[in-house]
Amino acid sequence: MKFICDKEKLLKAINSVTKAVAVRTTMPVLEGILIQTNDNDIKFTCYDLELGIEYIINDCNVEEQGATVVNAIMFSEIVRRLPDTEIKIEVNEKNLLVIECEGSLYKLATMNPEEFPELPEINVENSVEIEQNTLKDMIRKTIFAISTEENRPIFTGCLFEVKNNKLNVVAVDGFRLAWKNKYMQTKTNDFTAVIPGRTLSEINKLLVDSFDIIKIGIAKNQALFEIENCKIVTRLLDGEFLNYSSVIPEKWETRIRVNRSVLEDCFERISLISSSSIEKEKKYPVKLEVTVGKITISCTNQTGDAKEELYINTEGKELEAGFNPKYFLDVFKNIDDEEVFIEFGSSISPCIIRSVEDDGDYKYMILPIRLKN
C-alpha cells in the first residue's frame, strides 16, 4: 500500500473516524484505524463493536493498493503535528507503516487488517433526510437530559420517533425531559428507535452548521447515519421508552415570563450554595416562590443562605416549589431564546420551560423536589 495525500484531507478523515476507537478492549486491533485503498480512494475505518465510523477520501494519488491497521492514537498524533503539506504513506517490506513529510520520517508497527471486524451491513427499513444544522440543533437541545445511570440503559439514549410526518427527539432521565420536534418536508414513514447518547454526541461533532443533508437509516437493531463521505453505524438500545407525551402537563396554574440569561445568572450564583462542597453527599434544592410580579429563589444549608429576587411578569396563582438548580442551568445553556415561559402546576407538579415565541417545537420538563419544613 502506498499513497500521497494532503495533510488537511488526511487529518479530517482521521479526526472523523477516531471517535469510534475502542478505549478499553481485549482486542488490540480495535484500538487501530483500518486503512484501505481502492483505485484512487482511501477508506479509513474505526469500530468498537458498538459504534463504527467510515470515511472515504476521494481522488487521491494511490500508487499501490493494499490495507493495514495502525494504532489510532499514535497515527493521528503524528499526522496532526506534521507540516501542512502532502504526506506520503506506505507499508514497507517489513510490514511497517512509513510516514514521510518533508524532513520527517516515522515508521509504525501495523496489525493484520484481516483481523479487523467488518462494520455490520444495515438493511435499512425506514429512513429520514434532514438538514445538518437542524439535526445538530435537535441533538444539542435534548442530549443533556439523557440518563447516566447504566441500570436504565434505555434512558442513556435519545428516542428518535417519526409520527405523522414529524420527527420527535426525546431525552429523559427520570427527573427531567427534553423534547424537540420538526416537521419533515417529504413524506416519511412512522418509526421509533433509541440511539445511544454517546453516538449522538460524536455525530454532533461531525455535523456542520449548514443546510447540507444527513440521511438517517433505521434497521431492526442498528442505525446508519450518512454525511457526504462519512458513514456512521451504531447499535440501537433495546427496551420500552417512556410514553413522553402522556406525562407532559397540558395546563398550568402559574406562569412566569422571564429573561433567560438574567434568570440563568441567578441560578449560577445560588447554586454555589446549593451544591456546597462541605456536604458533597447531600443535594439541596432551591426554593422558588412566585408572588404577584416577583419570583424569589432561595437556598439554605450548613454553608449559608442565599436569596435572589427578580421582578417579572406573572400569571395565575402564587406558588412555592423546590427544584434542582442544575436542571434549569442545563436547559438555559442550550436554548437560544431571549425570553422564556416557565409554567407550573402545583408545588408537586412538573414545571415546563418553553419559548415565548412558542410554536410547540420544544418543551423541557423538570420534576420538583419536596421541600422540608
Q: How many helices (H) and strands (E) does the chain have?
A: 6, 26
Q: What gap in Å lies between CA 327 and CA 321, rounded to an integer?
A: 14
The span from the CA of 7 to the CA of 97, in Å, is 16
3-state secondary structure (DSSP) of residue 152: coil
Residue 186 C-alpha cell reads as 417529504
Phi, psi of 18 (to 5 degrees): -65, -10
Task: Spell out the CATH class of 126-246.
Answer: alpha beta
Task: Supply angle C-alpha 318, 323, 327, rounded to 5.
Answer: 125
Supply the pLDDT for residue 282.
Answer: 53
What pLDDT does 325 receive? 93
CATH number of 254-366: 3.10.150.10
Angle between helices 72-81 and 7-17 (to 10 degrees): 150
DSSP 40: T
Residue percentage of the chain with pLDDT more than 70: 97
Mean pLDDT rounded to a whole number for the chain? 93
- The confidence score (pLDDT) of residue 277 equals 47
What pLDDT does 285 receive? 87
pLDDT in tens, 191-234: 999 999 999 999 999 999 999 999 999 999 999 999 989 999 99
Neighbour count for residue 115 (Cβ, 10 Å): 13
pLDDT at 290 over 50: yes
- Taking CA atoms, 72 is separated from 11, 18, 28, 75, in Å, by 12, 7, 11, 5
The answer to whether residue 301 scores a pLDDT higher than 90 is: no
Task: Kindly report, residue by residue over 241-252, the tens digit of the pLDDT.
Answer: 999 999 999 899
b or e along 275-303 (b: 16 or more beta carbons within 10 Å of the residue's beta carbon)?
Answer: bbeeeeeeebbbbbebeeeebebbbebeb
pLDDT reading at 281 higher than 50: no
Q: How far is CA 244 from CA 142, 174, 241, in A?
A: 13, 11, 8
Q: Is the pLDDT of residue 146 over 60?
A: yes
Give the start-to-end residue ranges of the domains of the chain.
Answer: 2-115, 126-246, 254-366
What phi, psi does 33 have (nearest 5°)? -105, 125
Q: How far apart are CA 235 and CA 221, in angstroms?
A: 6
- Residue 38 contacts by C-beta under 8 Å, 6 or more apart in sequence? 65
Q: 59 is written with which cell numbers? A: 481522488
Q: Which residue has the cell 442545563?
A: 330
pLDDT band at 283 (very low <50, low <70, confident <90, very high): low
Contacts (Cβ under 8 Å, ≥6 apart) of 214: 129, 130, 131, 132, 135, 207, 225, 226, 227
Q: Say which residue the cell 491497521 belongs to.
A: 69
Of 152, 238, 157, residue with least CA distance to 196: 157
- Rounded to whole angstroms, how far apart are CA atoms 184 and 173? 27
- Asked, colleague to colleague, whether 2-115 and 254-366 share their fold, the answer is yes
Cα angle vertex 133, ends 130, 137, to 5°?
Answer: 100
CATH of 2-115, one of 2.60.90.10, 3.30.565.10, 3.40.640.10, 3.10.150.10: 3.10.150.10
| Amino acid, single-letter form, for residue 77 | E
How far is 191 from 216, CA to CA, in rounded Å? 12
Distance in angstroms (rounded) separating the CA atoms of residues 316 and 310: 17
User: Which amino acid is residue 61, in one-letter code?
Assistant: N
> Edge-to-edge strands of the sheet including 191-196?
191-196, 157-163, 166-172, 176-183, 362-366, 351-355, 339-344, 254-259, 313-316
Between residues 276 and 325, the one the model is more confident about:
325
pTM: 0.92
CB 71 within 8 Å of CB 31: yes
pLDDT, one tens digit per residue, over 226-267 is 998 999 999 999 999 999 999 999 899 999 999 999 999 999
pLDDT per residue over 64-78, tens digit each? 999 999 999 999 999
